[in-house]
Structure 1
Amino acid sequence: MNLTLRQLTTFREIMRAGSISQAARAVGRTQPAVSTMVRTLEDQLGFALFLRTHGKLIPTPEARFFLEECEDILGRLERTERTLERISSLQSGKLKIACHPAASSVFLPRLLTRFLDGREDLEVSLIMRSSAMIEDMIASQQFDIGFSETPTPRASIHQTDYDMECVCILSADDPLVEKSVITPDDLDGHPMAVLFDEHSTAIQTEAAFRTTGNRFNKRFELRTFLPGLQFVSAGLCVMVCDMITAYSHILHAPDSSGLAFRRFRPTISSHISILTPGYTTQSMVGLTFISELKAAVAGVQDEVETALNSTWPLRNPS
């Protein structure tokens, strides 16, 4: 037996319409073609579907039972077609993202909010983890996308790396905001907030002071830069921090809010990466989100660069 979807669809239309002529119009075929299809279907099934009495079709009990099966099969097919259509239009599916702390509070949620607009059936899992944990989650294919500090390359991970310049954040009342570029000479002995000793930005910052012969005064040691914004705003310290954290503050406080951004020289680099599993194929929705994530990272660099070029915020703006 080799039943076709056309046979099932046409049979269902005959049962709904009650006549071959009306069914033929519904399926866009001629009446003789539909009559032939019914006879062929009955031959394949091995039993009659209709009794023909005085020019009318009377469904047999077997036809009514067969209709239930047709409705079930065609219903599943129609649901599948709708699901595939939503998937192809990126309106349905699942996306699992792991994000490091600096981007988890503002940057990535903001991007996801825009991405999910009009995609009500798209399911998203977003977790915050350390960069080391994210690396392992991506390598083991537990998550589709990771956004973290740059790991050591390995075959089980595809990565797109970015070298982003760190910026110096000061209290808006600090006299140093008159400068467009801050150096270790300006911060000799000044209280600083830095990440833990093993972090690359802390190592680079301390090395910059040591190389220039200036005293490095580490008052606050942090796991992430976010709490340091409060300390800087209160005038307790200065901080050389990653661009993602600076961008998050710009989004929340587009006007002056107690902080000022300035360039720092020598350049302190913050390395971040977009990670995906190395041994699996990315979904269409995943590829689309990655494309938007790449554009968003470029947007961060442009936005902070604009803020630095305008020495944001200006003191005593006109």
Structure 2
Amino acid sequence: MSDPSGKPDLSLRLLEIFDAIMRCGTTVEAAEQLGISQPAVSNGIRQLEAQTGVTLFERLHRRLQPTEEAVALHEDIKPVFGLLRGFASRAQDMRQGVSGRLRVIATPPLGHTVAPLAMRRFLKERKDVSIAYDVRRLEHVVEAVQSGNADIGLALALERHPAVHIEILARTHMVAVLPKGEAVSGNVINAETLAKRDFVGLEIDSTLGREIRAAFDRDGVPYKPRVEVRYCATAAVLASAGIGCAIIDPYTAAFNAGLGMVECDFLPPIEVPAVMITRKGVPRSRLQHAFISEMRKALTDFGAGGMQAIFGAR
């Protein structure tokens, strides 16, 4: 379709052929680089000359010699094709998962412990990747993923949700942490024993708080914490200060082991899955797959080697 103004209606493909010949020097090399036949290259140049009304090449001994006009015009379009090659290279990097931006949001038990270690490994070999990272409460994590404001959400103890896709990455159990110097028989403490001591509970409106309350109910023990807090990390700090025992997730317990708490098993067992939250119906990018892989490895390392495997080299 011609331009009503009388200016030639040039296609990007013809300019691409012109650029390739100017850079390669021959139609054979230009054809190989573009993945087309040599006659297609020659036809493209003839078409471009016809549309512009400018002789671009002199045909000398079966070779194309650029005219002064061709050299001048090529100087004008070189920046354009430089940008296009940069675009193609960046797109390829994105396809291969070595370039781009990832948005991750997590609840504190994973967001302040295992996820940063997975992120460190993920970024180490991806110098052109950046991450937008936030740590929020569970309802905010779900909302961010559902609305498309985050690519990946990380949380504990959420196996189903109607608005988002949930995938379990690992399963573990809550643990009890006691102030330094306190001891329990067999390194195990149960709800009945804990109820006789001062203990720090998690707020009942939280997912983990409800799980702990349910464990007390299963043993027929009243749930009456001396202090109630929102986050497991806060409970760990209070336990280390001698305020009382606490039941927290094992990732937070491992991360805060340097506070001098005593860790032991808790009965009845409270299983907590570490989960990934993604938006329903949206395919995952290479970056998402790569980050998820690092999260799985970090969680596996934790299960195999405990605190030293994950947090020993902070």
- TM-score class, shorter-chain normalisation, is 0.7 to 0.9
Aligned mate of 2:181, from 173, 187, 206? 173
2:162 and 2:236 map into 1 onto residues whose CA distance is 37
**2:181 aligned counterpart, secondary structure:** coil
1:60 aligns with 2:60: no
Residue 265 of structure 2: aligned partner: 263
Q: What is the root-mean-square deviation of aligned Cα atoms in Å?
A: 3.5
**1:93 aligned counterpart, secondary structure:** strand
TM-aligned CA distance change 1:138 to 1:269, over 3 Å: same
Structural mapping, 1:112-261, within 5 Å? 112-151=119-158, 153-161=160-168, 163-176=171-184, 178-209=185-216, 212=219, 216-250=223-257, 253=258, 257-261=259-263
Q: Can you give the 5+ residue segments of structure 1 that lack an aligned partner in the other structure?
A: 15-22, 308-318
Residue 99 of structure 1: aligned partner: 106
Deviation at 1:290, TM superposition (A): 1.5
2:68 and 2:214 map into 1 onto residues whose CA distance is 90
1:301 aligns with 2:303: yes
**2:191 aligned counterpart, secondary structure:** coil
Deviation at 1:71, TM superposition (A): 1.1
Q: How high is the TM-score relative to the length of structure 1? A: 0.76
2:64 and 2:79 map into 1 onto residues whose CA distance is 26
**2:129 aligned counterpart, secondary structure:** strand
1:74 and 1:179 map into 2 onto residues whose CA distance is 71
| Residue identity in the other structure for 1:275 | I
Is contact 1:181–1:263 with CA below 8 Å preserved after alignment? Answer: yes
TM-aligned CA distance change 1:52 to 1:45, over 3 Å: same
- How many residues matched? 289
Residue 22 of structure 2: aligned partner: 11
Is contact 2:57–2:64 with CA below 8 Å preserved after alignment? Answer: no
Is contact 1:100–1:130 with CA below 8 Å preserved after alignment? Answer: yes
| Residue identity in the other structure for 2:264 | R
1:33 and 1:125 map into 2 onto residues whose CA distance is 50
1:90 aligns with 2:97: yes
Deviation at 1:125, TM superposition (A): 0.3
Deviation at 1:109, TM superposition (A): 1.5
| Residue identity in the other structure for 2:247 | V
TM-aligned CA distance change 1:230 to 1:69, over 3 Å: same
TM-aligned CA distance change 1:189 to 1:86, over 3 Å: same
Residue 316 of structure 1: aligned partner: none
2:67 and 2:201 map into 1 onto residues whose CA distance is 82
TM-aligned CA distance change 1:213 to 1:144, over 3 Å: closer
Which stretch of the first structure deviates more once superposed, 108-117 or 3-12?
3-12
Deviation at 1:77, TM superposition (A): 2.5
Q: Percent of aligned positions with the same letter in both sequences? A: 21
| Residue identity in the other structure for 1:293 | M
Residue 310 of structure 1: aligned partner: none
Show CA shifts across 1:79-127 (max 9, x none): 1232123223322111001111222223211210111002121121001
Q: Can you give the 5+ residue segments of structure 2 that lack an aligned partner in the other structure?
A: 1-9, 33-37, 310-314
Deviation at 1:235, TM superposition (A): 2.3
1:64 and 1:151 map into 2 onto residues whose CA distance is 64
Q: How high is the TM-score relative to the length of structure 2? A: 0.77
